[in-house]
A and B are shown apart, each in its own frame.
Chain A
């Protein structure tokens, strides 16, 4: 009788707590993103995740080389454009060393362009070993546009690559940042002329028009980045936050590792000294260059520069400018970007 009494007394609270524990466990396990092939590449101290998703049976694989340095390829997964790409092709999302949700303890000496290029090569070899690939395409966005370009400079790497999609790619960061400075100045002048928030825009104008401009060190890069955001140079039209409950709590992406990695990876590069223009004549693979008209960090003038620098024959390369986008046309004009990319891929 006493046991029954105790049982009755304790049941309401304990049952709720048991349900809560069960719910947390179920959410934690059942809500996880289990699709696709997920594995790690260990190389020179870094343990880098690779997530192959989508229609791998198509035997066409797109390797996404993310921006940054320090960002994550896994941000692209939730976008409308990449979901649509996954419906047609396999897409491999790789987080670079010291970036995104990568692990390991890569020494500072491995944060070099050569090392990153070696990583790309190892990723491609690993992808080919795990999946049957008839056609391989590489997509490089922003910093990824630098890295993918750097990898493709070696003719041996171009073998078996059916095409390259450069999206607002940072192949010439030195010139890109100078163009960004000019873009900020023009935008700020327009705001001053229109009488909008005059004091702040005057400060931006003063910074952007210093002559000679200050060297692009880390502090000025930070300032540049803040002004680019202010002139809507990353995102021309607000497309909503990429940070969702699922992303934060149920995906493989660890947001705390991501934030730490992002800071760390950026600290290792002298970005302003990186320019591949003179070497790009060695790239002969078909290339689609996509660019946002309002890109403030790598302005659209770079698109023609990339086109001119590539060694690809004119019939194998093209530029598509997205009039209502800044740095990420795949997010701001997904339908148009998708049409351009799938047309390019399906033609090869």
Chain B
């Protein structure tokens, strides 16, 4: 489906203000995170609808998450997100989100040093390395509050990537997938 067709379909289905339900602005989110799709992790967050114009919303949020890339790194992050979300009357959701934050990466295994003056190798504290995180996702999902169920939930599959910088003078890409459940607070 081309983007133009998608936009046209969204416009055709855009409900009037009177038709649309009036969901809460604040949501709690929980997500399964797959760093490079298959390295498991999770994310918890809060999301707030900053502005809403019929079917289009401007959303902002904050997330705390982590993942384990087995035997490479364990990552923890805290980020702030901002993006746009289009929701049809039937509850179909398309969203584009960007985020920036702080990422800390720990080598996933014991770390040793070998004293240069001689002596036995010693295991040292795994302090990891701090990094700046920036990323973006494209999401597709369903807002169940817009369906006849009227559940205050939405379920979204987000695909995208985040960058880790500084890495060798620039950034390292980490593709990611998130299966995100959002609970709209009343």
A interface residues (Cβ-Cβ under 8 A, vs B): 6, 9-10, 13-14, 17, 20-21, 24-25, 27-29, 31-34, 38-43, 47, 49, 51, 98, 101, 103-105, 118, 121-122, 125-126, 129-130, 248-250, 252-254, 256-257, 260-261, 263-264
Are A24 and B34 also in contact (CB < 8 A) when A43-B113, A43-B114 are?
Answer: yes
Complex contact A39–B167 (CB within 8 A): no
Whole-angstrom CA separation of A260 from B163 in the bound complex: 13
Is the C-beta of B25 less than 8 angstroms from some C-beta in chain A? no
Give which listed residue, A14, A21, A32, contacts B70 with CB less than 8 A. Answer: A32
Count A/B pairs, Cβ under 8 Å.
117
> Within the complex, which residue of A25, A250, A256 is in contact with B172, where a contact is CB–CB below 8 Å?
A256
In angstroms, Cα B40 to Cα A98, docked, is 26
Chain A nearest CB, measured from B153 CB (Å): 9
Contacting pair B70 A257 (CB below 8 A): no
Contact A28 B38 (CB under 8 A): yes
Question: Are B121 and A126 touching (Cβ within 8 A)?
Answer: yes
**B129–A104 contact, CB under 8 A?**
yes
| Alpha-carbon distance between A254 and B67 when the two chains are bound, in angstroms | 14
By beta carbon, the residue of chain A nearest B71 is: A252
* B149 close to A257 (CB less than 8 A): no
Least CB distance from A275 to B in Å reads 28
Interface segment, B4-12, B15-23, B82-90, B103-111? Answer: B103-111
Contact in complex: A256, B37 (CB < 8 Å): no
Say yes or no: is B144 at the interface (Cβ < 8 Å to chain A): yes
**Bound-complex Cα distance A261 to B129 (A):** 17
Residue of B nearest to A265 (CB): B168
Q: Which one, B32, B112, B168, B170, contacts A21 given CB within 8 A? A: B32
Q: Is the CB of B112 within 8 A of A29?
A: no
The distance from the CB of B104 to the nearest CB of chain A, in whole angstroms, is 12
| Between-chain CB contacts (< 8 Å), 13 pairs | A10-B151, A20-B179, A24-B34, A24-B177, A28-B70, A29-B70, A38-B71, A40-B110, A98-B168, A103-B107, A254-B72, A260-B168, A260-B172
| Chain A hits for B108, CB < 8 A | 252
Q: Is the CB of A257 within 8 A of B172?
A: yes
Which single residue of chain A is at the shortest CB-CB distance from B169?
A264
Q: Does B155 sit at the interface, judged by CB under 8 A? A: yes
- CB <8 Å contact, B37 and A249: yes
Q: Does B174 contact A (CB under 8 A)?
A: yes
* Docked-complex contact B107 and A17, CB < 8 angstroms: no
